[in-house]
Amino acid sequence: MRQTLIAMSIAAALASMAGCSKDSQETQAANAVAPVAAEATASAEGQAAVVKNNPLLAEWSGPYGGVPAFDKMKVSDLKPALEYGMAQNLAEIDAIANNPQAPTFANTIESMERAGKALSRVFTYWGIWSGNMSSPEFRAVQAEMAPKLSAFNSKIIQNDKLFQRVKAVFDARNDSDLSAEQKRVVELVYDQFATNGATLSGEAKQRYAEINTRLAELHTKFANNVLADEEGYDIFLRSDQLGGLPESFVKAAAALAEEKGQKGNYAITNTRSSMDPFLTYSDNRELREKVWNNYYSRGDNGDEHDNNAIIAEILQLRDERVALLGFDNYAEWRLQNRMAKNPANAIELMEAVWPAAVARVHEEVADMQAVADAEKAGIKIEPWDYRYYAEKVRAAKYDLNSDEVKQYLQLDKLREGMFYVAGELFNFSFTPVAEGKVPVFHEDVKVWEVKDKTSGEHIGLWYLDPFARAGKRSGAWASMYRDHTTFDGKETVLASNNSNFIKGAPGEPVLVSWDDAETFFHEFGHALHFLASNVSYPTLNSGVRDYTEFQSQLLERWLSTDPIIDNYLVHYKTGEPIPAELVAKIKKAANFNQGFATTEYLASALVDMKLHTTDPEGIDPDKFERETLDALGMPSELVMRHRTPHFGHIFSGEGYSAGYYGYMWADVLTSDASEAFAEAEGGFYDKEVAGKLVKYLFAPRNAMDPAEAYRKFRGRDAGIEPLMRDRGFPVPGEQGAGAAAGE
């Protein structure tokens, strides 16, 4: 259901920077869409004029089935475009709801799938401003539109006439001649309504809408606070403070400082892409501590950008909202339609891995402390020391230097390697689109056309926005500007990958760490999932959160396959392939520091789940975090990957809330599926296994139940044993598990 899914995902992530009283919230929720609904009655000529004069509403034109007019984006057009798009969408919904004919799949579900196209186009531009090009002007529009968008969404979900038509089709689905794909659409659309308050009535329905309005404000206020702390805590170094830092990092830091008006100095930004390498290599312990504190204190500085009160209110509102639906806690509601099904199953998986991960951390810390003691450093390992001394242990234990590895990890060559993998597994080819042929929103963005290698059929476009800049949120992600659909004429995919690599000095290649290279492959996996889609309806391109990370995590495995190593990991100066002995060291050290990686992730996932299964009344988020980690036995030498005050996955929207465990759930599938390739005659490029991978795990998207899809691929359910083997942790009933970790 195009309009509902888009509205729910966007409205949940929006927010207002201004708070309002309960009374004013109620007034806004009740009246926000009245003006835009009235606009829907305007003359056809007037409507046409609005569309013609607002490029954000215009149908996409140009090559490749039409492309977004990113070159015509203006923030001043955003508010009127949203208002018009909502009005048009509500008019479409009212027409469907008031259709005098008996409800059918065609006149109800298909009509809903067809509705909301103009608003969908506007949200594409919204996503660019929100994620890639945020500005004070955009955030002002965010603040104003958050309650309006939430109220708009509520008017659709709580339209009882519409819901009764959906329910009628749902109730009759097994007695009709609908295809399996059509039945799946009906079930997903019905579920969107039933689990989001459509079954409520009276005061409960009104309160549900009020809560959504307030949450819309809080979610983006949370995100904007984190962004403010990322932008507000740059550190500028002198040349005598660069000890230990690699040449490539120093050059990039110098270029960044010059860009920020500090020519001659070196900028360390408050983002992971800058923090992580600094903590790994800098010899200056005092600066390491400062950089660490800046990063892990985002949203937790007791100032106007502090998120603790916001978190407390979000948790209380989420708990109140699901109670209206009869659930004991938010996590129960969230997981009902996930692969895990309930919080107990998710916690069981995490707690099964936790002890082995923590035990490995203690081993890693002992190794690091021994190095520090041998150097007579006179310190106890602290969190800002972990990466630094881990790198020293890596060098001593495996004779492996991460900076040496980086010399063979050029961003452009990695991209070529990803294209090779896509060609071998998916039969895709990637051809650069001539500059200027397809509009882009920033000069750093490049575009490729994707085709079927055999038939030459156009599949879609792939956009790449690789570099960090002011106004761009941290991390890496994939976006879809247009879904693959066929029910109403074929539409091809427009997919995007977005990263925050530090741009090199002019003429210098961008060198990345092995972890960053894996992340690059990971996000490309999401894009391939979009591009491989073979479904008819927009709703079927939605995802099940603890499953959609599986496909992307799986693609990380191809980074270390022989064709990539042999052909794309070449030295940035000499062009020589990475030496076999260095590759052997990388593979031998594959599970190095796995205690750190697994524990910091699981700590975040467990805290997320416990936050959403506890009574939030009077909760103090900082105190809850500390006490939960203490009860878990969290080692003092590291922290959660995402501390609660900046945990955007779960508090800047609801996509991952009570769902961060999903990466681990998906990794169980990843490890198991990897063994399917490892066991195949052709290894990771085996054509038969690759064909099943695309057919069952990528192309169906959400047209098939994920558990059923995985069984069709593997012939059985996945077990936890491959995951434990992958991480070098002991596997019950197996001997010599520690050997996998290079012990």
Condensed to tens digits (0 to 9), the pLDDT of residues 112-169 reads 999 999 999 999 999 999 999 999 999 999 888 988 998 999 999 999 999 999 999 9
- pLDDT at residue 735, rounded to an integer: 52
Using the structure block, give the residue that is written with the tokens 């639906």. 325
When pLDDT is averaged across residues 4-20 and rounded to a whole number, the result is 35
- pLDDT at residue 708, rounded to an integer: 96
- pLDDT at residue 544, rounded to an integer: 87
The per-residue pLDDT for range 503-542, each reduced to its tens digit, is 888 888 999 999 999 999 999 999 999 999 999 999 999 9
- pLDDT at residue 146, rounded to an integer: 82
Q: Please tell me the distance from the alpha carbon of residue 582 to that of residue 283, in angstroms, as a whole number.
A: 25
The per-residue pLDDT for range 457-502, each reduced to its tens digit, is 999 999 999 999 989 988 899 999 999 999 999 999 999 999 999 8
Q: Please tell me the distance from the alpha carbon of residue 488 to that of residue 154, in angstroms, as a whole number.
A: 27
Task: Output the 3-class SS for 463-520.
Answer: EEEEECCCCCCCCCEEEEEECCECECECECEEEEEEEEECCCCCCCCCECCHHHHHHH
Write the DSSP string, 410-465.
Answer: BHHHHHHHHHHHHHHHH-EEEEEPPTTTS--SSTT-EEEEEEETTT--EEEEEEEE
Q: Please tell me the distance from the alpha carbon of residue 154 to that of residue 210, in angstroms, as a whole number.
A: 9
When pLDDT is averaged across residues 424-440 and rounded to a whole number, the result is 98
For residue 743, pLDDT beyond 80: no
For residue 299, pLDDT beyond 60: yes
SS3 category, 69: coil
For residue 41, pLDDT beyond 50: no
| Phi, psi (deg, nearest 5) at residue 649 | -55, -35
Task: Output the 3-class SS for 580-599.
Answer: HHHHHHHHHCCCCCHHHHHH
Q: Could you give the percent of the chain with pLDDT greater than 90?
A: 85
Strands 493-501 and 458-467: parallel
Instruction: Give the model's confidence band at 44: pLDDT under 50 very low, under 70 low, under 90 confident, else very high.
Output: low
Where are the alpha helices (H) located in 247-342, listed in sequence order?
247-259, 272-281, 285-296, 308-324, 330-335
For residue 36, pLDDT beyond 50: no
Q: Which DSSP helix (H) or strand (E) runs through 236?
A: strand 235-237
The half-sphere exposure of 402 on its side-chain side, counting CA atoms within 13 A, is 28
- pLDDT at residue 531, rounded to an integer: 98
- pLDDT at residue 43, rounded to an integer: 54
Instruction: Give the model's confidence band at 732: pLDDT under 50 very low, under 70 low, under 90 confident, else very high.
Output: confident
- pLDDT at residue 714, rounded to an integer: 96
For residue 62, pLDDT beyond 70: yes
When pLDDT is averaged across residues 64-78 and rounded to a whole number, the result is 97
For residue 737, pLDDT beyond 60: no
> Which strands, in side-by-side order, build the sheet including 477-482?
428-432, 446-452, 458-467, 493-501, 477-482
For residue 736, pLDDT beyond 80: no
- pLDDT at residue 35, rounded to an integer: 38
Handedness of CA 309, 313, 318, 319 (dihedral sign): positive
| Residue 489 burial (C-beta neighbours within 10 Å; 0-12, 13-18, 19+) | exposed
Instruction: Give the model's confidence band at 342: pLDDT under 50 very low, under 70 low, under 90 confident, else very high.
Output: very high
- pLDDT at residue 504, rounded to an integer: 83
Q: Please tell me the distance from the alpha carbon of residue 109 to that of residue 682, in angstroms, as a whole number.
A: 44
- pLDDT at residue 22, rounded to an integer: 28
When pLDDT is averaged across residues 560-569 and rounded to a whole number, the result is 96
Q: Which of 356, 354, 385 is nearest to 369 (CA)?
A: 385
For residue 344, pLDDT beyond 50: yes
Q: Which of 61, 57, 53 is nearest to 437 (CA)?
A: 61
| 2-227, CATH topology level | Neurolysin; domain 3 (1.10.1370)
Residue 450 CA, chain-centre distance (Å), reads 22
Q: Which of 519, 526, 520 is nearest to 552 (CA)?
A: 526
- Annotated domain spans of the chain: 2-227, 232-296
The per-residue pLDDT for range 161-205, each reduced to its tens digit, is 999 999 999 999 999 899 999 999 999 999 999 999 999 999 999
Q: Please tell me the distance from the alpha carbon of residue 579 to that of residue 556, in angstroms, as a whole number.
A: 21
Strands 477-482 and 493-501: antiparallel
- pLDDT at residue 48, rounded to an integer: 63
- pLDDT at residue 655, rounded to an integer: 85
Instruction: Give the model's confidence band at 29: pLDDT under 50 very low, under 70 low, under 90 confident, else very high.
Output: very low
Q: Please tell me the distance from the alpha carbon of residue 350 to that of residue 354, in angstroms, as a whole number.
A: 6
- pLDDT at residue 17, rounded to an integer: 27
Residue 23: both structure tokens together: 């009374």
Is the Cβ–Cβ distance between 306 and 645 less than 8 Å?
yes
Q: Please tell me the distance from the alpha carbon of residue 128 to that of residue 208, in angstroms, as a whole number.
A: 29
Q: Could you list the active site residues? A: 523
- pLDDT at residue 294, rounded to an integer: 98
The per-residue pLDDT for range 649-684, each reduced to its tens digit, is 999 999 899 999 999 999 999 999 999 999 999 999
For residue 614, pLDDT beyond 90: yes
For residue 446, pLDDT beyond 80: yes
